[in-house]
Chain A
Amino acid sequence: MLVVLLGMSFLTFILTNLAPGDPVRTMYASAGVMPDEEMIQKTREEMGLNRPIPVQYLDWLTDCLKGDFGTSYSFGKPVGELLLSRLLPTVKLTLLSLVFMLAFSVPLGMAAAVYQNKWPDVLVRIVTFFGVSMPNFWVGLLLLLVFAVKLAWFPVLSSGGDLKSMVLPAATLAFAMTAKYTRQVRTAVLEELNQDYVTGARALGMKESRILWKNVFPNALLPLITMLGLSLGSLLGGTAVVEVIFSCPGLGNLAVSAIMKYDYPLIQGYVLWVSLMYMLINWLVDIFCSLLDPRTRESASVERCVHGKGGMHEKV
């Protein structure tokens, strides 16, 4: 864990050092100044860019641990403050799309599993297959075109941050995730339905609905929570695209403009924050799972690193 954290921070740091452009020149260029060599050298010295990279890294790391993520070139404000001010819209967006996703994928996935190979299952499978093949930015543009531009039910910009303006971006974000997650719900529930205890319960004459909700669903929940944590990674990445389309003032939008302006401290801060958030969420998921299921308490994290995360992008 600690090794991964260290490596992650180093990768984040080294990322901006691999860039072709000279940050000092880009900084002046974005301010509209044409600096001479002497000015550039002086600024480099002031910003500590002439020191060896390991020294720069250690300095940066200690600053980060103290909560100082540097100063953004393009905004002239502390990176921590900037990121914090943009955090709320992204968190709201992610949570709302998570609600959308669960509201659709859990019932649909369960229905598909219960009616395996009958028409509800076939329909759900076809629709989800189409769903995972659609680029999320296209879905966003089409929703925008139909519901905001043509029908004018929702605002085109979601800069307001109220619920109504969040609906379209959240729906966009939820769209592809719902398709993926519905398939995972279906697989997980199917796996449980084929277990001996279900046959046993049926033999005892228990009601099918009772078996489903009392026995099957709680058992299928565990892998689903783990996958939910992992899918948050795609959600966090997806927010950038969606926030740009709907002009939502969130972290992703900030990151895209930071990259456009070669604002290295801001990019570093963004990547570091998002990966920390992602790690934290998955760590919480681990803890939550071990609380729910004593069996996983011993070797949970090891197992999950090997199986769960390896299958992150895989279709289920």
Chain B
Amino acid sequence: MKRFKATKYAVFLTFAVCAILIILAAVFAPVLCAGKSPVDAELADALLPPDSHHWFGTDQLGRDVFARVIYGARITLSAALAVVAIIFVLGTLLGILAGYFGGIMDAVIMRFSDMMVSFPGMVLAIAVAGISGASIKNAVIAVSFVSWTKYARLARSLVAKIRHSDYVQAAVVAGSRQWYILTRYMLPAVLPTLVVTAATDIGSMILELAGLSFLGFGAQPPAPEWGLMLNEGRPHMQTASWLMVFPGLAIFLVVLVFNFLGDSLRDVLDVRKE
């Protein structure tokens, strides 16, 4: 049993290190790319296959694909982490309030989230992102808009479970302030599950944001965003297959690492799957 626990931590640490390495790569992109620009076009070098100078080849405008992939991590990570932070804070807050106070607040929040659930998420995200004008900021807003309800539902059901338990009632009877009960009793009860949910969501948020960018409703040229790069490389598929391979591989690997991270965090925190 003890050994199993030790392995769990080891697995978690391994993926945590991988995730930190990805983040460091994004932060130190200029160093890694040795000064190569991700956006400066060099038409004479267009569509060069990978070699020792351009590790991942060059794209249709002669930009270094390796530099674009590395710099792309900045956009992808910051956007995905922003989405997860927004939906985590908003969903948890509204869910706790709905679960704790009940009544009208609960009814309004939950009816709204019922409504959101009856939309297929990606369809609504495409519509919101496209209509509000294509930009990475609007893509973040669109994905957050359709995703926060999951957190609200989870937080609400967890709060409802302990709302009428003896120790909470005792705190109420003892005259604790509502703020105190909310932050000291309710929040700790919901946090482990929601943190795990947030960690496992990073991967899927990266996928959704990249999907929006691929359709043209996210990052705009000349930004080095992975989904957008795949879209821009599409017409050159026959002659320059490296344009299809590397940005996709980058998304895949980063999502894989964050998915593993979320899963191993679940094992470490020992949260029951809901």
- A interface list, Cβ under 8 A from B: 3-4, 7-8, 11, 15-16, 18-21, 129-130, 132-138, 141-142, 144-145, 149, 232-234, 236-238, 240-241, 244-245, 255-256, 259-260, 262, 264, 267, 270-271, 274-275, 278-279, 282, 305-306, 309-316
For residue B215, which residues in chain A have a CB less than 8 angstroms away from its CB?
Answer: 240-241, 244, 256
B144 at the A interface (CB under 8 A): no
Known contacts A11-B115, A133-B255, A145-B237; decide if A271 and B124 are in contact (CB<8 Å): yes
Q: Are B126 and A259 in contact (CB under 8 A)?
A: yes
CB A117 to nearest CB in B, in angstroms, measures: 13
Give the secondary structure class of B's interface.
helix
CB pair B120–A274 under 8 Å, yes or no, is yes
- Cβ of B132 and Cβ of A18 under 8 Å apart? yes
Which residue on chain B has the smallest CB distance to residue A314?
A: B274
Q: With a CB–CB cut-off of 8 A, which chain B residues contact A7?
A: 111-112, 115
How many whole Å from A70's CB to the nearest CB in chain B? 16
Interface of A is mostly: helix
Q: Which B residues between 228 and 263 are near A, CB-CB below 8 angstroms?
A: 230, 234, 237-238, 241, 244, 248, 251-252, 255-256, 259-260, 263
Type the 1/0 row for B121-141, where 1 means its CB is closer than 8 Å to any CB of A: 111111110111100000000
Once A8-B118, A11-B115, A233-B120 are accepted as A-B contacts, the answer to whether A145 and B256 lie under 8 Å apart by CB is no
Which of B154, B248, B260 counts the most A-chain CB atoms under 10 A from its CB? B248
Write out the residue numbers on chain B whose beta carbons fall within 8 Å of the beta carbon of A316: 273
Contact A19 B132 (CB under 8 A): yes
Closest Cβ of chain A: how far from B64's Cβ, in Å? Answer: 21
Inter-chain CA distance A153–B176, complex, in Å, is 71
- Nearest A residue to B126 via CB reads A240
Chain B residues lying within 8 Å of A149, measured Cβ to Cβ, are 237-238
Contact A129 to B259, CB < 8 A, known contacts A141-B230, A313-B204 = yes
| 24 A-B pairs with C-beta separation under 8 A | A7-B115, A11-B119, A15-B131, A130-B256, A132-B203, A135-B227, A137-B214, A137-B230, A138-B251, A138-B252, A141-B234, A141-B237, A141-B244, A145-B237, A145-B244, A236-B120, A237-B121, A260-B130, A271-B119, A271-B127, A275-B118, A310-B157, A313-B201, A314-B197
Chain B, Cβ-Cβ closest to A262: B131
- Give the complex CA separation of A149 and B131 in angstroms: 34
Cross-chain contact A4 with B211 (CB below 8 angstroms) = no
Residues of B within 8 A of A133 (CB): 203, 252, 255-256, 259
